Chains A and B, each alone.
Chain A
Amino acid sequence: SGHSKDGLCTGSSRRDQVIFWRAVASIAWSVLLLPPTTALYVVLSRFSLFHPLQWLTGKRTLKNVIYSQNIAIFSFILLCGVVLLVGFFNLEYYSVVPSIACSKIALLGHVLHPRQFFHSLVHCIMGVVVAWCCAVTIGGRYQALGYPCMKDESGPQMCLNENHLVLLLAGAFVGYSHSLLGLVHNMNYISFHTVQQYKYLCFKGTLPLVMRASAVQALYSLRNFLALYFFMGYVPRAWVCRTLDLQVDSSVYSLDCVSGLLDLSLLYQLWISASFLLFTWYITVLLFRIFVTEAYSFPVQPTFQEDAHQCLPEVITGKQPTILKFLALQDLARLSNHCPSRRQEVFSLSQPGGHPLTWTAVNRECLSLLSDLTERLVSHHDNVASNGRTNRSWVLFPPPGGSRSWVLAHVHHPLTSSLMSIIPSRLPSCPSSPHVFPHVHHPLTSSLTSSLMSLTSLTSSLTSRCGPWPICFMMSDWVLFSLQLPEASSQALFADSQAHIWALEGLSHLVAASYSEDQYGVVQTTLPSILSAMLMLQEAVDRHFKLPHASSKPGRSSFSMGDSSYKTLRFALRATLKTSIYRITATFGEHLNAVQMSSEHRKRLQNFLEYKE
């Protein structure tokens, strides 16, 4: 066992390297793409509506660039550093299973989580750095924070250049809002596309969307920033003046008034800089996604014994890291559909012994994935059926002892009632999937815990101050009504369903192919279990879609970098499940009557055979 453990360790580290090198390649490409992007930015930032000729001939540009060559090189190096850091954050924070907040409290918990706080802070700082580089590149009145000015009483002094300050603050704001919106829109979630294309074509196809998204997002961020600066602008200005001992030039308008902010040139520069910032970051995210989700072809059978841990059955059954499991499942789905030669390897028998080891491993893993999902759906349905009917909502209360297990209180009605039932449970309305992928970083539980801690302490303080229960209940009732996200529990159930979709596709294609390609009949023996697993899942999915909110579709979000495909994964799963069962019934036809199964399943299968589902 020691040997196998050792092999597993080196195996997993070697397998990790696949992702690592892909991330490195993506970061390298985003650094390589930085010069053209920066050049485009420089050209656009010099654009002036009233001097188009000057802009086109670019005399000033050239002169300026030569003049501030050193600073330009320095700021470019800074930009490269920022892109590297963003790439590192992508690698560190990505996940293939989205974290879905089931209520606004949970979302708040996510935002306040230290990990996310660190992310936001670093992005905020990087935003300032990029904005400084932009200010240096634009030059002119944005060049520096201070400028010499004459005041009446004393001699020459340094005054605050508010244009520069606004640019830096805008950078910080855009950086922070990028981090925040990334969390809200699940920008760290990596989805796999149904249509595989080569990386270059994929990039080329998505590039216009990214440009548009960054320009639009820059506009929105800027609007929010200007509103904030209009009301709160004096705070950072005063602070900067105090710390750096700068004077405020009274001859220049301050910018936190309407006339100051309606400076078109300033607005244009702010928008262009914010777009540039977001574009470079989005490109890094995009390249990372494209590189990481590229299909990887695992060998089905090892050529040497040492490579055994790298081949498909091993990786599929492995747990760590999740993305490799996903890549392996994707590879399974592709090989089962497209590659007859690799299918043959799956159906083959082991050389000494004659056991269908590959097929057994693949089949077992796919079936366990499916039965896992079935179980999850059934338990969710039971929860809703047993508890959801009498009431609308749940509240979590801390246990008196302060231990880590939580008590779930069932609130009946705010005014007339008391606690109906107290059930110790983990989060019931928001089933996460740690038992499927235990190593997925899932900050939900802990963050929710911490955020609820504060909420309940607030409630209890209220209770102690005001005395009776009703206030507490009104409070919690209000909290529940305003904070529940109705669709989220359904989304969370199917958060990792991409794996199930591939498992279904892989299994059904393999079974269909086995009709003509399986020489040893290795698939035949497992056909009953495959069919029953699929039919049971079908039943559970059908039941789930009868729940309220399960079949409502979210509105399509456009031009956002956040990938919202996880919101509709359950529909994709339902469609794939049906297609998979039909694929098997269409291939085997009447032969399925010879397969052993329960009468209930047979009835359901008969519906499929007659095309009545």
Chain B
Amino acid sequence: MMCSLALFPPPLPGDGETSHYYSKDEFTTDPSVWFEESHALNLYFPRESLKPHSRPESSSKAAFRDHCETLYTRSAGAWRDAGLSGLLNEIANSSAEVPKWLGVSSRCVLALLQWVSSFHGSLFPHLTLSSEEMTAEFSQVLDWSDCAVRGFAWHPHTQKCAVALLDDSIKIYNPKSSTSPTLKHRLQRSVAALQWKPLCASDLAVACHNCLLVWHVDPTSLSTRYTHTHTHTHTQPHSPQVLPQRFHCSPSRRPSSGCAQVLSHPGHSPVTSVAWSPSGSLLVSASPRDTAMLVWDVAVESCVPLHRVGGGGVTHISWSPDGSRLMAATPSSLFRVWETRMWTCERWPSLKGRCQSGCWSPDGSRLLFTVQGETVIYALTFTDTPGLPLGMSGGPKAATVVADLSETSLDTPDGDTMVGGEIQSLAWDPRGERLAVLLKGDAGAGRPAMIAVFKTQINPAFKLLPCGFVQGEPGTEPRLMQFNPNFRHGAQLTVCWSNGKITHVAFYFMSARVPQPGVGGSPPLPISQGRPADYVNQTLYTELIS
């Protein structure tokens, strides 16, 4: 049985409810959605305070070079920056200094190259995008290019988070520490994704414009050096003597030896997705321009490219929590599910559009994914025990639709509200009890971007139940969301809003699953849920047990 958003409790009216985020004793009308007030990590980054880096465009670069360098050094620089086409461009543009035949021939080759690349681009239209546009297109963040917060990552084991900002810096917050280090690197441009290394205290992988950075943020030496930075946080008032620390790797220092490792590979740019293996041993990175997915051994700084024909690149990767499988989406209507023992893959073609987002159930048995241009959530079920030699044989034969999020209008005290539409990203909480869906919305049609939350059940049968909507202050839209893996009383969804605020929405429940050892022992008594009776038994999707 599969139903639509119409079964959801209506979203709260926009006005007047925002105070609930920050007032202590009131609850929202949906009792299952509580907003925890005075969270230590409620952060605020006003859009105005962050200046995006004004990057030297290629034209200004060329003009700069013209004045001060010889043809040879200019050519060498162009070769370094932009490869063969850059070199040819440079030669073709400086016709006064080169022999005529050289200029003509380089123009011809350049035209040929452009023709070939336009042909290639007609096969894979995404290749015609610039790097920034590509990152914005394939990022999991809604409206990435204009978003103050471009990335957010909870540490998998401790209450610590990293926030990537519009100005290409990364800040690290830890409620136990009064300092928040700022990570800056000259190669850290247009951050598309970031993730902490599992089973490690300090390593943070960042997907940058043309490389991967792995930061080593020493958790013990946070109070050695301080410099001033402009940060506004809700709970950490500025005090003159305690200011955040800044790590800065100067360009003169060898980048690999310092606090950041630079991992780059020719043709692998821009990097739009990174994923650590849950065992912490490998790092996988993907770029929409590179048909190969790179598997890095970070300590050794070596990588194994995994090439497969088709797709034209890899946009988004997601590792199953048990480490046995890896989903890799491509820019065309195809995605792959890799088996990580022998690194073979299963192709999932014939989608209507490209795979936009995907997430795994905590036991690694189910993959939910969404497709661009469609308003439904698909599920794949992997029944075999992971790790057997014939790993892929037990895989599913077809994806099933588990939820339909097409537009519906819901009654609210303020009148009808339109909800639904295309899906930007999915997030499943680490216990498998809540599924958050970030809906793109459509400003023209009066549909704001919104987060719909489902209750989920994995065992004995897979079930989806409506839970509620998460809305921000009026006029703000959610941009990015992630579940906190260390929340002990249920699930906690961290949402980054369009106005630069980061808030945390807690869902309290008694976990049906035995909590994972080490994650946090037995959860303390949860606050009981009094929920409207008419929503309890409505199941959006129930799997038939055969």
Chain A interfacial positions (CB closer than 8 Å to B): 193-198, 201, 204-205, 334, 337-340, 505, 509, 515-516, 551-553, 556, 565, 568-569, 571-572, 574-576, 578-579, 582-583, 585-590, 610-613
Contacts and interface: CB of A to CB of B under 8 A. Distances in A.
Given A196-B343, A579-B280, A588-B517, A611 B201 contact: yes
Interface string B146-177: 00000000010110000000000000000000
B31 interface: no
A338 B386 CA distance: 8
Contacts of A578: 199-200
B158 A611 contact: yes
B259 interface: no
A330 B301 CA distance: 21
B299 A197 contact: no
Contact of B199 (A196, A337, A516, A586): A586
B517 A568 contact: no
B295 interface: yes
B385 A196 contact: no
Contacts of B219: 611-613
A579 B387 contact: no
Contact of B343 (A195, A338, A505, A572): A195
Given A195-B282, A568-B300, A586 B157 contact: yes
A334 B343 CA distance: 14
Given A611-B158, A612-B219, A572 B199 contact: no
Contacts, number: 103
A582 B343 contact: no
B158 A568 contact: no
Q: 9 nearest interchain CB pairs?
A: A575-B299, A338-B387, A582-B199, A611-B201, A571-B299, A586-B518, A568-B300, A572-B299, A589-B518
Q: Which of A205, A551, A574, A588 has the most CB of B within 10 A?
A: A205
Interface residues of B, number: 38
A177 to B, nearest CB: 26
A551 B257 contact: yes
A553 B518 contact: no
B154 to A, nearest CB: 13
Given A338-B324, A571-B300, 19 more contacts: A195-B343, A197-B304, A198-B344, A205-B304, A205-B305, A552-B257, A568-B301, A572-B297, A572-B299, A578-B199, A579-B200, A582-B200, A583-B199, A583-B280, A588-B518, A611-B157, A611-B158, A612-B201, A613-B201
Nearest to A575: B299
Contact of A553 (B297, B301, B324, B521): B301
A194 B343 CA distance: 11
A515 B219 CA distance: 28
Given A198-B342, A579-B280, A587-B518, A553 B257 contact: yes
B387 A339 contact: yes
A338 B341 contact: yes
Given A339-B387, A516-B517, A575 B201 contact: no
B418 interface: no
Contacts of A565: 300, 302
13 contacts: A193-B304, A197-B306, A197-B343, A205-B304, A205-B306, A334-B341, A338-B386, A338-B387, A568-B302, A572-B297, A572-B300, A579-B281, A583-B280
B189 to A, nearest CB: 22
B517 to A, nearest CB: 6
Interface string B369-386: 000000000000000011
Q: Which of A195, A337, A516, A572 has the most CB of B within 10 A?
A: A195
A244 B7 CA distance: 98
A582 B257 contact: no
B484 to A, nearest CB: 15
A204 B343 CA distance: 14
A340 B387 contact: yes
B301 A556 contact: yes
Contacts of A590: 521
A574 B344 CA distance: 29
B298 interface: yes
B200 to A, nearest CB: 6
Contact of B307 (A194, A205, A572, A612): A205
B257 A337 contact: no
Q: Which of A334, A585, A613 has the most CB of B within 10 A?
A: A613
Contacts of B300: 565, 568-569, 571-572
B279 A579 contact: yes
Contacts of B295: 194-195
B267 to A, nearest CB: 12
B412 to A, nearest CB: 44
Given A553-B256, A588-B517, A579 B199 contact: yes
Contacts of B518: 585-589
A5 to B, nearest CB: 36
A515 B514 CA distance: 14
A260 B155 CA distance: 67
Contacts of A610: 158
Contacts of B281: 194, 505, 576, 579
A401 to B, nearest CB: 46
A376 B341 CA distance: 33
A333 to B, nearest CB: 10
A556 B303 CA distance: 12
Nearest to A610: B158
B350 interface: no
B157 A568 contact: no
B224 interface: no
Contacts of A204: 307
Contacts of B342: 196-198
B282 A589 contact: no
A588 B295 CA distance: 29
A205 B323 CA distance: 23
A582 B199 CA distance: 5
B217 to A, nearest CB: 12
Contacts of B386: 338
A149 to B, nearest CB: 41
B514 to A, nearest CB: 10
A138 B225 CA distance: 69
A336 to B, nearest CB: 11
Contacts of A552: 257
B220 interface: yes
Contacts of A334: 341
Contacts of A585: 518
Contacts of A611: 155, 157-158, 201, 219
Contacts of A576: 281, 299
B315 to A, nearest CB: 21
Given A571-B299, A579-B281, A611-B201, A515 B256 contact: no
Contacts of B158: 610-611
Nearest to A589: B518
A583 B198 CA distance: 9
Contacts of A505: 281
Contact of A589 (B279, B280, B387, B521): B521
Contact of A575 (B298, B306, B387): B298
Contacts of B301: 553, 556, 568
A329 B385 CA distance: 24
Nearest to A582: B199
Contacts of B305: 205
Contacts of B220: 612
A194 B280 contact: no
Nearest to B324: A338
Contacts of B257: 551-553
B517 A587 contact: yes
B279 A337 contact: yes
A568 B387 contact: no
Q: Which of B155, B280, B518 has the most CB of A within 10 A?
A: B518
A338 B343 CA distance: 13
A100 to B, nearest CB: 16
Contacts of B387: 338-340
Contacts of B279: 337, 509, 579, 583
